[in-house]
Amino acid sequence: MSIRVLVICLAAVVGCADVPDYDDPRQVPTEEDDYVSCENLLDNGSFDTTPLAWQLSSSDIVIDDRKLPADHPFSASSGYYFAWFGGVLGATRSASQLVTVPARNMLKLSGKYFVAAETRTRVEDTVKIEIVDGMNVIGVVSFTNLDSGSDSAPFTWINLQKDIASQAFAGKTVGVKITSVNDSANNTNFLFDSLELKPAGCF
């Protein structure tokens, strides 16, 4: 069908004027009427592809839910893999990668998260996502064991949406880092999946 339309257009311009000029949905205009790609700045934000792209402090951060016990409540939001931080007493875990930030754009981080903790009486365990630009570290989002649901609440992924003022590092290559810190008392699990980092107008 597309070949037939092309032949008609080449034979006679008349009749081709009504063919719609579709804008590329993967691009959004900036204030200067420039266009910025809406591709995910994060490589493998769903943790499902190989090579992984993330630098991990521990090999068991990325989990294949098919290898969990059949009665285990956790499962991936998309595909089969997700990132599992925390989960170990007295441990710090991290995952990071480099991204190049487009100029003149606010960014937005989106994805899925879940927190499951043994106690919610005081802050004991934490996880944070940061932008690292040399010595400058910008906090994006953080959770603690206090963000856990009740013990009786079923496992369900929660939507993550966070705007990021990116003017300070626009046009630079910076690090995106996820870090969990668990103390030696009560365990907390911090799960992430389907992470996307895009210009804010792409959502």
Domains contained in the chain, CATH given: 39-202 (2.60.120.260)
Is pLDDT of 13 > 50? no
Q: Which amino acid is at 184?
A: S
For CA atoms 184, 189, 190, 193, the dihedral sign is positive
CB 123 within 8 A of CB 144: yes
The closest alpha carbon to 180, from 138, 137, 124, 135, belongs to 124
Distance of CA 190 to the CA centre of its chain: 14
Peptide bond between residue 51 and the one before it cis (omega within 30 degrees of 0): yes
Is pLDDT of 17 > 80? no
- What's the pLDDT score for residue 147? 97
| Percentage of the chain exceeding pLDDT 70 | 83
Is pLDDT of 2 > 70? no
CA 148 to CA 85: how far, in whole Å? Answer: 14
